[in-house]
Structure 1
Amino acid sequence: MAEDAETPIRAGWAAQNPLLTEYYDTEWGMPVFDDDGVFERLSLEVFQSGLSWLTILRRRDAFRLAFAGFSIERVARFGEAEVERLLHDEGIIRNRRKIVATVANAQAARRLRDGGGGLAALVWSFRPERSPAPANDAEVPATSDESRALAQELKRRGFAFVGPTTVFALMTAIGVVDTHVVTSHRRGCSGLWTRDGARTAAALPFADAEPG
């Protein structure tokens, strides 16, 4: 019984495979503040749409190789030749719409950077005043008011394949919100949220901007 009491509490999906468990315990919900890092996570969420996250994790190294380490500057220069190359890359998900969307998103992210902002700053500007505090998996939301607003803003800026669910998944993955259940050993792992969903005093590396 003592051993059971010490077993870490995780989201149900994190117990389905050792790769998912490692991702949950070391990466999911940890802050990502650099533009290329946010672009990578957004791109992986785009490819995950309609598929399992395990499918994406198993191909992550291949995705990084195929998409030039998810360098915004490099992917933004991809043309039809690169798209055709990716369509023949068996290591990734060969979906033309998602590949084209990823290139378009790199170009949109580059425009943001050229305009004096950046993808990371834009995404983090939609951090809510409070984070969800789910007691169990059933209480974890799939979208939020902020994800719907951010999805709309990203589309306005030229991003593609960025619906509210995909955007909320991104926000949870990089710590913009904390959707670990409140009893999880990873609750509050970002240092940005308390167990009950309030903001901590930790500062972001860029000034909080008004959404949009």
Structure 2
Amino acid sequence: MVKRCKWAGNDLTMQKYHDYEWGVARYDDTYLFEMLTLEGAQAGLSWQIILNKREDYREAFRQFSVAECAVLTDDELEEIRLQTGVVKNKLKIRSVRSNAIAFQKIQMEFGSFSNYIWGFSEPIINSWEEEADVPAQSDLSDLISKDLKKRGFKFVGPVIMYSFMQAIGMVNDHVRHCDFK
């Protein structure tokens, strides 16, 4: 029997995400933008809700093409809010465009967003005994959050950034008993 972190539960979408994405180091800018967007959308909601809407997000936000998201018009963003299965929060939807613009500026400065974000840290492999031991944020997530906010990003608080770090494998927080450690 496969042992997983408890948060993956019995939901196949959550289990697939846990098994193949969470804690796995990723360097592709499109994937990084997707995770940044989804983690921001998750604020105040469950990750399961967001994962269940992931395909709607991909369709609405042009497969997370940074270039296409950066030029979405107000009318297009409103249509996305009204006509798609994404979280209906207007500020979260508008943040996709503003974050795409800020993301592009980082790409121009650092060559890629990956170069920028991975410049903060090599992958951190934690060894927690139980999920209750896993922090919601860290000094590193606070540092990244502050830097992103200075660069114009929205929905990038320290808790969101810690989740983002887990999502892209900058932090591996699988507990010791997990087969995917």
Could you list the runs of 5+ residues in structure 1 that have no partner in the other structure? 1-6, 188-212
* Cα drift, residue 148 of structure 1: 0.5
Deviations 1:176-199 (CA, angstroms, capped at 9, x unpaired): 011000221111xxxxxxxxxxxx
Deviations 1:86-105 (CA, angstroms, capped at 9, x unpaired): 12124111110101111110
Higher relative contact order (CA 8 A, sep 6+): 2
Is residue 34 from structure 1 mapped to residue 28 from structure 2 by the alignment?
A: yes
Give the match for residue 50 of structure 2.
56
Q: Distance in 2 between matches of 1:144 and 1:8?
A: 29
Give the match for residue 40 of structure 2.
46
- Runs of 4 or more above 6 Å deviation: none
* Cα drift, residue 168 of structure 1: 0.5
**For this pair of structures, how many residues does the alignment match?**
181
Is residue 80 from structure 1 mapped to residue 74 from structure 2 by the alignment?
A: yes
Whether the 8 Å contact between 2:60 and 2:84 is mirrored in structure 1 is no
Whichever residue aligns with residue 64 of structure 2, its letter is: F
Give the match for residue 184 of structure 1.
178
Whether the 8 Å contact between 2:25 and 2:123 is mirrored in structure 1 is no
Q: What is the aligned-residue RMSD (CA, Å)?
A: 1.4
Give the match for residue 113 of structure 1.
107
Deviations 1:150-206 (CA, angstroms, capped at 9, x unpaired): 00111111111100000000100111011000221111xxxxxxxxxxxxxxxxxxx
Give the match for residue 165 of structure 1.
159
* Between structures 1 and 2, the one with greater helix share: 2
Q: Distance in 2 between matches of 1:130 and 1:73?
A: 30
Whichever residue aligns with residue 102 of structure 1, its letter is: V
Give the match for residue 7 of structure 2.
13
Q: Distance in 1 between matches of 2:13 and 2:125?
A: 26
Whether the 8 Å contact between 1:142 and 1:165 is mirrored in structure 2 is yes
Q: TM-score, normalised by structure 2?
A: 0.94
Could you list the runs of 5+ residues in structure 2 that have no partner in the other structure? none
| Identical counterparts, % of pairs | 35
Q: Which stretch of structure 1 is more off in the superposition, 31-40 or 120-129?
A: 120-129
Q: TM-score, normalised by structure 1?
A: 0.81
Distance 1:128 1:148, change over 3 A: farther
Q: Which has the larger radius of gyration?
A: 1
Whichever residue aligns with residue 170 of structure 2, its letter is: V
